[in-house]
Structure 1
Amino acid sequence: MATADVTGYARAHPRRVTTVLSVVGYALVVGAFEGLLPIFPALSRETVLLFSDAIAVVNSVALTVLLAGAYFIRRGDVRRHRAAMLTAFALICVFLVLYLWKVGGGFEKSIVIEEGQFLAAYAGTVELAYLAMLAVHILLSVVAVPVVLHAVVLGLTHDPSELADTSHPTVGRVAVAAWSTSLFLGVVTYWMLNHVYSWVPR
């Protein structure tokens, strides 16, 4: 199918395209977690740690660019808004590759709060707060997938002058809220797990 045909179909049926892309994304994540996609080369412990750091950097930059994109559109700067949002989307694709590879070829971590560490006397409360933030981060990540994809599909298949007559403005606001909150909590839990407290592989 020619590029023009794909674009035309996506323009005419943005929800269908969003649904297909969302299902593919969910399938990749579930497949990596369940070991159903044996396509990821095994990673050493050191490489898993490197991937964790790289993911945190990617997410931090993505959050910054995402918030910049929201700021630009509030000022009516469509060109910079589009560039920022596409950059943020590209970074999230990089994150997805790194994350799936880390999970599929390496391991996940569980937090451990040891004696003498920050607020160790309240370890139960701290761990509960960590798990709550992690749960919200994961939930928003799942919810944001179709919303973000729908906003991107609309943005790529319509001229800026046409977008006001689509659901792009509304969907975009929801996407920014869910996406940025998820990214922020992801970075916070990364710091807690890797730099404030200890962890064990799971």
Structure 2
Amino acid sequence: MGERGRLRLRSDEAAAPVPSAEELLRRVAAGDEAAFAGLYDLVAGPVLGLATRVLRDRAQAEEVAQEVLVEVWRKAARYAPERGSALSWVLTVAHRRAVDRVRAHQAGLERDERAARMDVRRPFDEVTESALAGLDRLRVRQCLAQLTDLQRESIVLAYYNGYTYPEVAEVLKVAPGTVKTRIRDGLIRLRDCLGVDR
């Protein structure tokens, strides 16, 4: 084909009518990739502009614009011409996506803020728990000191050193029944001293 033939093709292409966004969207719904390329050229700029206005962050706006265009490709069949223009439908999808991104970002900030507040309290809670545990140990020691020697020795061997009643009896050189009685009486006195309800 000569130079003249090429020129004729170019002038024929220029004369071809540009399909409307509605027509392109209808063809995209049928899976026409070339129609999607044409629709992309028509709506990408307005979609990015809207996303940028809502998000005020170019990088996030670009991400949202890409998500919107993928959604348009996947959901083109949902477009209903009687409810508005194709561009309005695409921009509605874009606006919803951008607003969702803003909400997700805000929720993330609030979640981080709550976590930070909890982290600030946690060391205080650990200190408080440690102090209370220390006070409890001190009270137990003070109450143990009020028991008879035999009660205290029996309880310490059984509850702090893990001895069985027969082992406590062997160490203290007394009958196992005596150990049980000492421990029972000692625990009752400890409970009263510590103010523990029955």
TM-score, normalising length: structure 2: 0.21
Of Structure 1 and Structure 2, the greater helix share is in 2
Greater Rg by CA: 2
